[in-house]
Structure 1
């Protein structure tokens, strides 16, 4: 009897989706691609911000050229850094700072104060290193900067739906320049990383690894975008092309984060704040990329024929089921048997003792609350996976997932607030739990919103993100296990929390990246005539 009811519900939902698609397909492409004023109100100032950053990066690239280097100005860096360490007002160092630092460094110091902008454990170290590079290395870095600014400008045009649809020839011509610039910029970045090494990279090992991942994934995504264009799969072409644009966004978003958090925490150094920014930047850029893709997708008409749902491969179901089982067991052990990271040898080998001590304080004297979180997280993982691979129409599973995911997300937000601001001792502070909790609860609420509106295609897309973020606390521990097994982090950087930052960053990046990639071929994407 239950199976008959489920079949009736599935047929009813399929009939409703067919009716919606047939109605929407009657609209002309011009009607479907009409600009939405609310989106433009967000897009236009965002584009203005990117254009302004492009001017700043072009200024930095021009100053970096060998013909503009003045060895006599090297001593000014020490002078301004010393003034920043004692918190001197910007007006006292303005003249020397404008000669020794790029414009964007000066603007940061104006907004946050000289201690954050020019003081030790900040951006003065890489600026000082840049002044000692060979002419070839300076030229390559300058090329990388100039092309970065150019790609941001080109991306504004390429990913504005109205321009992309109305000016096909211009879109293709700009695309050719974009692709050539993308490869050149990425390989220039790799050249710089090889010759700079870990020691001379800003903040050392963690940021060096992140930059390599960014450069390599950009080359891979651009290559895939070309392959899918030749195969006429425009949805995947657009998705991977937007990923490259997202990769270029990392630089302006990172600097914007420095300014924002520098203003919030003026007593901290830029290096301390960067422990938090390293976790945030990829997450922010991927979500921006998702929004840009969704905007371009929504401007395309709906197909007349309904989406044909292919059964998921058995191997995929088995793999996801095993991952859910392992995550459930890990969650129970983490929050019921050995609460927190401190009880695990992998975490003790990778994370600083001060970070583990701060993490342990979250659970001290709260055994029932901690155990309850472990159980709630297990409920979110199991109910979410059940919906994704077994029966997405189960009302009880949906209700259980919403309740457990929102509760687990809110608890993580509380822990993030309790851990507080970043520091060299606590590394990222409450950054991981804040981002993880916000993402889990936020995407669960978004999925509920789409369910109430009867949009099952977007419901599933939001659920992919939400279910993935249910794994984030477990991925944090697994990340420590991975870095311990790789045994590649120098002891100097382990003691400074780089292993924890990389593990936390991966625990946030993995769910976001998985959701972003799945979005390119989701039911909503396949339901659109993307061209």
Structure 2
């Protein structure tokens, strides 16, 4: 007994340290990002309103920086690019299309300039101080400050987001540095930010603090898209010093969705850990509705599971990935298609293992979740059943094999094959992570956390099918040739492969694991 208590104290202490490190890294990184955004907002984005010859000034600054790419010269173009150059070289950015983007900011219509300036200036406070709201120790000690920051946050976020959406409505995708991928992502996260802020206010008025915190974490995560994009540029440059900025940007855009939503989940987990565990509350009405719909849809879900297994076998056992679908050749670089095909052909057993593990883990997770949601003896025994033990191991096998395939395709981005195997690697790591979390929750008989892990797995395991489905849909859009040349035909489907994570995050908000903490 004493040994068990000592082990619990050790893991509890380790969890507290990791939670504190996570929160502090968010606070520091976003604080610096907010400060840099303030410099950009008061200088570059205000330039057209404070100087008559703004276009000439920025054009001259770009010319000078390209002629002599130094930190000093680059600071004349952008404080943000100056800061990013500290992690690499000024030449990386002077050779990129970010220079033309800077000129466009000065030449675009006045309405666009007003919208982007309002967005940047109003979002500065949210980014700089928003992270403090999720630091439990800070919130407990400085509750008045917490409420003051929250009031300003709720007042400024809608203005910043609406201004951003106005800018997106007025600006064609080809005038945005990240093109169509960023245009779509910013619309999705912008609308979700407004919805989550509204729901957070409603939860606060109803004194459902646990839901309020989760909705606020989602709203904050939606605001991190632009800062995280820049932060990823800085962090990934040392690992991939030989590729150009545009290719590196495509990689970071492909990582953006899971990265943002996992940070949101991390913020919720940290606040759960520091919160006081409560006796089990009655399920939320939305959770009851979701559970009822899930149980009624079980035959449909099993049908989807059978289709996913057949799909995986067709594309990874009988076929060889993207080379098996005709539309891929029109949207994806031939070098990337051939690279994926060669890896799948060189490792047929791993490819088959990935297809089968993914295909079987989905129905196993669906059945285990059904047992957990049932108001019968199945729910009590779900954590002890054979299926609940098989599910995490299948998920671990799927995740590890996906990582292997991604690693063999190449993690280093390349101009010819874009982000290589990053999609397989990132999704594989997340699947394996939630497989391990499910195994731990089952071992500790934490049924609420089991349900949460199962929902994440059900949203993650179909990622190959979602990728190919989105690839087909994108082919119907008839993207311009320059969009395809810029990699948009691949990166958009790759990003969409994790889009069901939004469903998992909604479960986190309303699920029992969140409601069991104050």
1:72 aligned onto 2:57: yes
Alignment match of 2:27 (pick from 47, 55, 58): 47
| Equivalent residue, structure 2, for 1:483 | 474
| Equivalent residue, structure 2, for 1:8 | none
Contact 1:379 1:400 in 2 (8 A): no
Give unpaired runs (5+ residues) of structure 1. 1-31, 85-92
Please state how far the C-alpha of 1:304 moved relative to its aligned partner. Answer: 3.3
1:414 aligned onto 2:391: no
| Equivalent residue, structure 1, for 2:507 | 518
Aligned-partner Cα distance in 2 for 1:288–1:62: 29
| Equivalent residue, structure 2, for 1:498 | 488
Alignment match of 1:384 (pick from 335, 353, 365): 365
| Equivalent residue, structure 2, for 1:358 | 339
**3-state SS in 1 of match to 2:414:** coil
Contact 2:392 2:439 in 1 (8 A): yes
**3-state SS in 2 of match to 1:71:** helix
When structure 1 is superposed on structure 2, of 409-418 and 133-142 the one drifting more is: 133-142
| Equivalent residue, structure 1, for 2:93 | 117
1:323 aligned onto 2:289: no
Please state how far the C-alpha of 1:431 moved relative to its aligned partner. Answer: 1.2
Alignment match of 1:454 (pick from 412, 421, 445): 445
**3-state SS in 2 of match to 1:473:** helix
* Alpha-carbon distance change, 156 to 371 in structure 1, aligned in 2, over 3 angstroms: closer
1:243 aligned onto 2:223: no
Give unpaired runs (5+ residues) of structure 2. 1-11, 372-377
When structure 1 is superposed on structure 2, of 422-431 and 230-239 the one drifting more is: 230-239
| Equivalent residue, structure 1, for 2:229 | 254
When structure 1 is superposed on structure 2, of 196-205 and 218-227 the one drifting more is: 218-227
**3-state SS in 2 of match to 1:364:** helix
RMSD: 2.6
Contact 2:339 2:409 in 1 (8 A): yes
* Alpha-carbon distance change, 110 to 170 in structure 1, aligned in 2, over 3 angstroms: closer
**3-state SS in 1 of match to 2:242:** coil
| Equivalent residue, structure 2, for 1:95 | 72
1:470 aligned onto 2:461: yes
**3-state SS in 2 of match to 1:199:** helix
Q: Deviations over 1:74-131 (max 9, x none)?
A: 12313423555xxxxxxxx3332221x22220122232123322213x4222112112
* Alpha-carbon distance change, 372 to 304 in structure 1, aligned in 2, over 3 angstroms: closer
Contact 2:320 2:340 in 1 (8 A): no
When structure 1 is superposed on structure 2, of 209-218 and 179-188 the one drifting more is: 209-218
**3-state SS in 2 of match to 1:288:** helix
* Alpha-carbon distance change, 489 to 319 in structure 1, aligned in 2, over 3 angstroms: farther
Please state how far the C-alpha of 1:140 moved relative to its aligned partner. Answer: 2.9
* Alpha-carbon distance change, 349 to 396 in structure 1, aligned in 2, over 3 angstroms: farther
Contact 2:413 2:419 in 1 (8 A): yes
Aligned-partner Cα distance in 2 for 1:380–1:269: 38
Please state how far the C-alpha of 1:262 moved relative to its aligned partner. Answer: 1.6
Scaled by the length of structure 1, the TM-score of the pair is 0.84
Alignment match of 2:320 (pick from 319, 336, 339): 339
Q: Deviations over 1:216-241 (max 9, x none)?
A: 22222222323333444433332222
| Equivalent residue, structure 2, for 1:375 | 356
| Equivalent residue, structure 1, for 2:39 | 59
Contact 2:396 2:432 in 1 (8 A): yes
**3-state SS in 1 of match to 2:473:** helix
Q: How does 1:111-510 map to 2 (within 5 A)?
A: 111-120=87-96, 122-165=97-140, 170-305=145-280, 312-313=292-293, 314-390=295-371, 392-393=382-383, 395-420=385-410, 421-485=412-476, 487=477, 489-510=479-500
Please state how far the C-alpha of 1:306 moved relative to its aligned partner. Answer: 6.1
When structure 1 is superposed on structure 2, of 367-376 and 329-338 the one drifting more is: 367-376
Q: Deviations over 1:188-226 (max 9, x none)?
A: 112222333112100322222222222222222222323
Q: Deviations over 1:303-350 (max 9, x none)?
A: 335656966334343443333232222112112222212111343343
Aligned-partner Cα distance in 2 for 1:231–1:278: 37
